[in-house]
Amino acid sequence: MTLCEYRPGLEGIPATESSISYVNGQKGILEYRGIRIEELAQKSTFLETAYLLIWGGLPTKQELDAFKDEIQHHRRLKYRIRDMMKCFPESGHPMDALQACAAALGLFYSRRALEDPVYIQAAVVRLLAKIPTMVAAFKLIRKGNDPVQPRDDLDYAANFLYMLNEEVPDPLSARIFDVCLTLHAEHTINASTFSAMVTASTLTDPYAVVASAVGTLAGPLHGGANEEVIAMLEEIGSVENVRPFVEERMARKAKIMGFGHRVYKVKDPRAVILQRLAEQLFDKFGQDEYYAIALELEAAVTERLGPKGVYPNVDFYSGLLYRKLGIPTDLFTPIFAIARVAGWLAHWKEQLAENRIFRPTQIYTGPHEQTYTSVSERIHLWDKKAQPPASLQNGSV
């Protein structure tokens, strides 16, 4: 076999064939199963979109009603999972808590009956239903409060906001949050989806697949970027500081969070929709103090880096929108995970159809024909620029 060219991050190297979603980064097009994201955001709901992604087509009214009913009646958590959450440190990040809880679901429900359609259906329902409950529960448990139980009379988005904020949300807020979930539900073979696929290729259970993807999503270069955007806007502090901030970052060749994308070379179509949604919330509930800074920052960065294809991505406006919904900053990424479970499960299900375990190769850059040196002779091998840890030098561990 001929060794292929090495590309850091596997950039541009196809990892699979998929019919789930499509991106055209030059034209700013995102489609789920061939339907433009703009149309789904306007006309669909998150659960209908999840059905579309996972099962391959839009459901009939009867199918959608049955799907929604199943999810509504599987939102509650086992008390042992709630008790486990109570043992987590209060300072722990919600993404770490979510990863642990998603994996724990496998202890209760995993049979790895991947050839059984009933098992697959049940796993899809449980993960879509329980992940939001976990996120909302940890938000309250870490403050010493009991979690709010889900309400079967509220739809998916409204129920989550109710469990999170302990009050029934305004209809506009619930609808906008539902659209946010739709926008984040799927995006081809990104890092967390690839992680899910690699894990799925071993034929482990779907709870381990989702836990693996959650761990990948947690990083600041992936789902954690919207948290970093808010921190950046806080650091800038005022509209007057925007352009000096941009100039300083560019001089250091430092990343400006919320800008640029490995695929899109125009403004992310999801960012366009999110900005419009944020403005709807601001019109009704008052503008976020950082929105003017964000607008000036987009103008400054687009002016300098737009010709290079650097524009706002999905993370740039989502944090401002979530803040207006009363969502704490460290829950931004877990909310990303709530939505992306739909895409992960779609790729898990697609992977099962023609599975082959992932086993990429490498380009070896190390030495050959090295000899073994006995431990008594190794002290001189320590490089002066890479001394052993102090604990080893002192003879302690």
Residues with catalytic roles: 261, 315
The amino acid that residue 361 corresponds to is T
Q: Which helix (H) or strand (E) holds 21?
A: strand 21-24
Torsion of CA 260, 261, 264, 267, to 10 degrees: -40
Cβ neighbours of residue 127 closer than 8 Å, sequence gap 6 or more: 102, 105, 206, 207, 210, 341, 345
What is the three-class DSSP state of 312? Answer: strand
Measured CA to CA, the distance from residue 342 to residue 103 in angstroms comes to: 17
Here the tokens at position 248 are: 């300083």
Residues 51 and 68: beta-carbon distance below 8 Å: no
Alpha carbons within 13 angstroms on the beta-carbon side of residue 238 total: 2
Task: Write down the residue that tokens 């989806």 correspond to.
Answer: 193
Task: Write down the residue that tokens 């419009």 correspond to.
Answer: 276
C-beta atoms surrounding 146 within 10 Å: 10
Here the tokens at position 100 are: 């642990």
- Residue 276, Cα to own-chain centre: how many angstroms? 21
Residues 213 and 344: beta-carbon distance below 8 Å: yes
Task: Write down the residue that tokens 């947690």 correspond to.
Answer: 218
What is the three-class DSSP state of 13? Answer: coil
Measured CA to CA, the distance from residue 274 to residue 321 in angstroms comes to: 8
The amino acid that residue 94 corresponds to is P
Measured CA to CA, the distance from residue 230 to residue 327 in angstroms comes to: 12
What are phi and psi for residue 29, nearest 5 degrees? -110, 130
Residues 71 and 51: beta-carbon distance below 8 Å: no
Measured CA to CA, the distance from residue 207 to residue 200 in angstroms comes to: 10
